[in-house]
Each structure stands twice: as structure tokens, then as C-alpha cells.
Structure 1
Amino acid sequence: MCRWLAYVGTPVLLDTILYKPAHSLIDQSLHSRLGVETTNGDGFGVGWYTPDVDAPALVRDIGPAWSNRNLREIADHVRSGLFFAHIRASTGTAVQQSNCHPFRHGNWMWMHNGAIADFHRIKRDLTLAVDPGLFPDIEGATDSELMFFLALTLGLEQDPPGAVARMAGLVEDTGRRHGVEFPLQMTIALTDGARLWAFRYSSRKDSRSLFYSTRVDTLRALHPDVAFLRDVSDETRLVVSEPLGDLPGAWNEVPESSYGVVQPGGDEMHPFAPLPG
């Protein structure tokens, strides 16, 4: 499967979060500790927001992140207060640019780790559930992108947590009609450029790993010698598939079947359960 990270906070260079940490996402592309696969080399993508532009920028490619010279080049020049980054290990769909995360629609970005079980068996039914007005915007063939467009169909722009819950319910109901016992495995990052939602859920109740960073003011008190912590605001937060290093007290596991919201004025954590689609 895949590894991903989402950063929200003080604007920083992409290099700061993508390359510099001891167990960075680039290191995880070769040496993942908690993923299903140790190596995640079936493509990568980064997305970010810039002032006065609603839609995020995307850079995606089919090669491995660890050797991509263009990614290394832009990492020293792109600065943002909201980054998504994803390294892909395909679960069966083609290694092609349109299948690389993050996915974008308007000002929204989405990325996913996990899979719809037996996707080939239920893909047609799920695809037919997408709003016909949204269908032309689907570019690739992954279950991940289809989940995004199902959530958009089910009200993502008005109610992100509810839409993701209805999408999960639709996937599970469809899968079980086709005899799939455990249809869904997901950790999802979703943003509109202002807020970040992160979801952890699976039909087995044994979901892929997901962590969030401790509040910066707490970490600053624990580790006053860490320069990065002196330079970012208390609102800065990372959500990651696996920790970027071993700094004591820095990482907290997202509870099973839950979702969190990173937003101005206070972050929140809530239980998550699928809803009827």
C-alpha cells in the first residue's frame, strides 16, 4: 500500500518536511517500518496551496520518489503552509501519472492509503454511483480516486465527515452484496486549503497506521534545543502514515475508527463509522 503525510502550519520549504526528517517520507519510500510493503516506488505526488490561488498545485510522477531530480529541485524552492505528499505502492491498478496521489477537484485535495477489497468485482457498481456531472473529471483507474468522487457525489463540499462516512457505507454495502466480507481499508487525508481532515477506518477494525504530531508548545517545552520547533507556530501540525523520527513525545496514534480535524481555533477528534450511502 502507500505512505503519506499532511502538513498544516507556518509556511516552510517542502524540503523541511519531505527530506530533512530522520525517517522522512523519502526514507520511507525505501525503508517503510509500518507499511504492508517496505518499498513504495510506484509513483509519488505532492500538492500545496499558495496565497491568492484557491486551487492547489500538484506535481506527480510514476517513478520512485527517492531518485526523482525534479522533486529534489522543487523541494528547495516551494514554500507553503499546507502540503500533501504521497508515495505509492500499487494494489493492482496501473503505474501511471493519473493514478498517483494526491487527487484534486476544485480547491479540494484527497489522498489515501489502503484499498477496496476485490475492487475489480465491485468497480462497475461504484462507478455508476458517481454523479454524472462529476464523472468526466475522473482521470485515473484507482479505487482511491473513485472514493474521492463518490464522497464528492455524497456531499463532500458541504459536509466532509458525513460524505466520507456515506462513501464508506456505500463501499461496504456494495462489497457485501458481492460477497466481500471486509470491503474497505483506509486512511484518508482531505483538505479544502483551510482545514485538514484525517480518517482512519477499516471493515476489519484493524486499520493501517496513522499518527498526528503533539502540540508544538508542548514539544518546545520538552525539546527546547530543536530548531524547527522554535520557528513554527503553536498551530503547526503533521499527520503521517508513520512517524518521521524518534523524538520522544512527538507522535500520537490516531485511534481506530476515528477522524480528526486540524483547523484554526482548535483541533478535534471524533469517532468514525460508515453511514448509509
Structure 2
Amino acid sequence: MCRWIAYSGTPVLLSQVLFQPRHSLIDQSLHSRMGVETTNGDGFGVGWYTRNADTPAVLRDVGPAWNNRNLLEVAHHVRSGLFFAHIRASTGTAVQQTNSHPFRRGRWMWMHNGAIRGFHRLRRDLTLAVDPALYPDIEGSTDSELMFFLALTSGLTEDPPGAVARMAGLVERVGHAHDIPDPLQMTVALSDGDRVWAFRYSSEGRSRSLYFSTEVNALRSLHPDAAFLRDISDETRLVVSEPLGDLPGAWNEVPESSYGIVQPGPDALHSFRPVA
């Protein structure tokens, strides 16, 4: 499957999150501890928001993240207060640039770890459920991108949690109609440039790993000597497929069948249930 990071908070160089931590996303591309595969080398992508742009910038490639010079160059020169990064382990679709995450439409970005079970059998029915006005913008062949466009069809830009719930319900209904057990496995991150939503759900109730960072002011109390905590705001938060280090008290598991919102002011955590 895949590994990903969503960062929101004080603008930082991408390299500070992608390369510097002890168990950074780049380290996870070779030595994942909690993924289905140890190695995630079937492409990568980063997407970041800047103050004056109407859409996020996206850099995607088909090779592994650990030796990509363009990623290294960009990460050491681009600073952002909200960005996504994803390393891919294909579940059967082609390794090509259009299949690397994150996916983008307008202000929105989407990335996913997981799979639609039996996707080759369900793909036609699910594709026909996409709004015909949106369909021409599907570029790749992954279940992840199709899930994004199904959520867009279901009203993502007006009601992100409701749209993802309706997308999940559709995937499960179509899967069950084709006698596919436990059709959906997903940890999803999406953003509009102001907020980040993160979802953890699977039909079988044993979802892929997902963690969020402890509030910065609490971490400062726990670790007053940690220099990097002095330079970031109380609003800074990370959502990750697996922890980036072993700092005690820094990471919290996202509960099964739930979603969180990282936003200005208090963040929120809610239960998640697909809508039939």
C-alpha cells in the first residue's frame, strides 16, 4: 500500500518534515514499520499551498522518493504552511505519473492509502457513477483517484465528510452487489488549502495505521528542551501513516472508523460511517 503525511501550521521548508525526522517519509519509503510493504517505491508526490496561488502546486513522479534529485531540490527551497506528501506502493494499477498522489482539482487535494478490493470487477460500475462533467478530468487508472472523483460527485466541495461517507457507501454497495467481501480499505487526507480532513475506515474494521501529532503546547510541557518546538505555532499539526520519530507523547492513533479536521482554532474528531 502507501505512506503519507499531511502538514498544517507554521510555514516550513518541506525538507524539515520529509527528510530530517528520524523516521521521515523518505526513510519510510525504504523501511516502513507499519505498512503492508516495507518498501514504497512505485512513485511519489508532494503538493503544497502558497499564499498567492489559486491552486496548490503538485510534483509527482514514477520513481522512488529516496533518490529523486528533483524532490530533494524542491524540498530544500519550498516553504509552505500546508502540504501533502505521499509515497506509493501499487496495488495493481500501473506505475505512471498520473497514478501518483496527491490528486488535485481546483483548490482541493486528495491522497489515499488502501484499496478497493476487487477493483477490476467494480471499476466500470463505479466509473459510471462519476458526474459526466467531471469524468474528462480523470487522468489515471487508480482506485484512489476514482474515489476522489466519486467524492467530488457526491458534493465534496460543499460537505467533505458527507461526500466521503457517500463515496464509501457507494463503494460498499457496489462491492456487495458483486459479492466482494469487505470492499473498502482507506486512510484518506483531503484539503481545500485552509483545513485538512483525515479519514480512517475499512469495511472489515481493521484499517491501515494513521496518527496525529499532539498539540504543540502540550509537547512543550513534556519536552521543554526540544528546540524545534520553539519555532512552530500552537496550531501546527501533522497527520501521518506512521510516526516520524519516537518522541514520547508526540503521536496519537486516529480511532477506528473516525475522521478528524485540522483547522484554525480547535481541531475536531468525529466518528465516521458510510452513507448507503
| Shift of residue 265, structure 1, vs aligned partner | 1.4
Over aligned residues, Cα RMSD in angstroms? Answer: 0.4
Three-state SS of the structure 1 residue aligned to 2:95 is coil
- 1:14, 1:227 → 2: CA distance? 18
Three-state SS of the structure 2 residue aligned to 1:152 is helix
Q: Does 1:69 align with 2:69?
A: yes
Partner of 2:182: 182
* Cα deviations by residue, 1:144-167 (Å, 9 ceiling, x for unpaired): 000000000000000000000000
Partner of 1:25: 25
Partner of 2:215: 215
Partner of 1:5: 5
| Shift of residue 54, structure 1, vs aligned partner | 2.2
| Shift of residue 226, structure 1, vs aligned partner | 1.4
Partner of 2:90: 90
AA aligned opposite 1:187: T
Contact 1:186 1:200 in 2 (8 A): yes
Three-state SS of the structure 2 residue aligned to 1:173 is helix
- 2:265, 2:72 → 1: CA distance? 34
Q: Does 1:139 align with 2:139?
A: yes
Three-state SS of the structure 2 residue aligned to 1:238 is strand
* Cα deviations by residue, 1:108-161 (Å, 9 ceiling, x for unpaired): 000000000000000000000000000010000000000000000000000000
Contact 1:54 1:193 in 2 (8 A): no
Greater Cα offset, 48-57 or 139-148: 48-57
Partner of 1:261: 261
AA aligned opposite 2:211: F
Three-state SS of the structure 1 residue aligned to 2:49 is strand
Partner of 2:162: 162
Partner of 1:36: 36
Partner of 2:233: 233
- Identical-residue share of aligned pairs (%): 76
AA aligned opposite 1:146: L
AA aligned opposite 2:199: F
Three-state SS of the structure 2 residue aligned to 1:161 is helix
Aligned length: 276
- 1:95, 1:10 → 2: CA distance? 34
- 1:61, 1:104 → 2: CA distance? 15
Three-state SS of the structure 1 residue aligned to 2:56 is strand
- 1:234, 1:99 → 2: CA distance? 35
Partner of 2:195: 195
Greater Cα offset, 102-111 or 47-56: 47-56
- 2:54, 2:177 → 1: CA distance? 40
AA aligned opposite 1:242: E
Q: Which runs of 5+ in 1 are unaligned?
A: none
Three-state SS of the structure 1 residue aligned to 2:90 is coil
- 1:105, 1:224 → 2: CA distance? 41
| Shift of residue 181, structure 1, vs aligned partner | 1.1
Normalised TM-score (structure 1): 0.99
| Shift of residue 221, structure 1, vs aligned partner | 1.1
Normalised TM-score (structure 2): 1.00
Three-state SS of the structure 1 residue aligned to 2:208 is coil
- 2:54, 2:201 → 1: CA distance? 29
Contact 1:14 1:76 in 2 (8 A): yes
- 1:228, 1:98 → 2: CA distance? 35
| Shift of residue 186, structure 1, vs aligned partner | 0.1
Partner of 1:103: 103
